Amino acid sequence: MTIPTRNLGTTGPQVSALGLGCMGMSGMYGEADRPEAIHTVHAALEAGVTLIDTGDFYGMGHNEMLVGEALRTAPAHLRDNAVLSVKFGALRDPDGAWLGFDGRPAAVKTFAAYSLQRLGVDHIDIYRPSRLDPDVPIEETVGVVAELVEKGWVKHIGLSEVGPDTIRRAAATAPISDLQIEYALISRGIEREILPTLRELGIGVTAYGVLSRGLLSNHISADRDFAATDFRAFSPRFQGENFRHNLSLVDSLRKIAEQKGATVAQIAIAWVLAQGSDIVPVIGSRTPERLSEALGALDITLDAADLAAIEEAVPADAAAGERYAPAQMAMLDSER
């Protein structure tokens, strides 16, 4: 298939209209199969997906090494098409616990050096702090990434989960290609202030969580038990009455999907795609089958009537529960 492309802002690269997020391939949603994960990355590249997203803290380096292996074993013409987006700065201990974020210039240079080695590349296409370090001005963090750009180690600067003020300060320091942030039918907070700010400044969006950690995939039932290592075991939206309420939203969406001859996941992805050509959904498929389903969303056109029906079925702020547990919500500059 031929995948359409979109530009990440006015200064960023041209990428496939859907990206592949690799976090789930390193245990964030329970056990993952390494050979199948690599096969999925290869399938994505073969299908025309160019944007590949990872983070140095996913599996404490595991994910970067996995992506590096997938690129190394892919045909050269496909490997060369990959646009690597890498998040840095989150701190973890050997048990996997979260320890905060480090945006100091010396730390950023160190993170980049290790990422380049693990990925086996000579540059990172888009490099972004995973969260705002409250103890380091964003100008310092973005400024040191700009130095890496000047030296050729990084091509573009991105941001992740920050609010309007931080976005403006970062953009005043150096060109910003895109903001990576959660955006989905049931996660629409960016529409109030963040998205208008980005569009004013010519900054694109790479939207993660478009299926809301699987809630909008129609592949999860109310009796699902999540492993202790699964993010969803602690996510407010997957607990008790919240979980049952949120699955009822999926039931409403399913009727629309059936009328369109599509799956619920495809409708959820197509809705994000329809919100603007400056938005690139990043899909966390872990198998070629799920990837194929996600790519099918590119063939779906939602007209005004479809969008109105979806809005009625799943209004803004319809979800029960926050998108992260309280301790993690407190770390999000985008939620302040």
Active site residues per annotation: 58
Other beta carbons within 10 Å of 14: 11
The answer to whether the CB of 232 falls within 8 A of the CB of 226 is yes
Structure tokens at 86: 């890498």
Alpha-carbon distance 333 to 336, whole Å?
A: 5
Alpha-carbon distance 97 to 211, whole Å?
A: 25
Question: Helix 34-47 vs helix 288-295: angle between axes, to the nearest 10 degrees?
Answer: 30
Structure tokens at 4: 């359409």
Question: Helix 138-150 vs helix 105-119: angle between axes, to the nearest 10 degrees?
Answer: 50
The answer to whether the CB of 321 falls within 8 A of the CB of 237 is yes
Structure tokens at 321: 């529960």
Question: Which residues, 6 or more positions from 215, have their beta carbon under 8 angstroms from its beta carbon?
Answer: 186, 237, 238, 246, 247, 250
Q: Name the β-bridge partners of 157.
A: 127
Alpha-carbon distance 155 to 171, whole Å?
A: 16
Other beta carbons within 10 Å of 245: 14
Other beta carbons within 10 Å of 240: 10
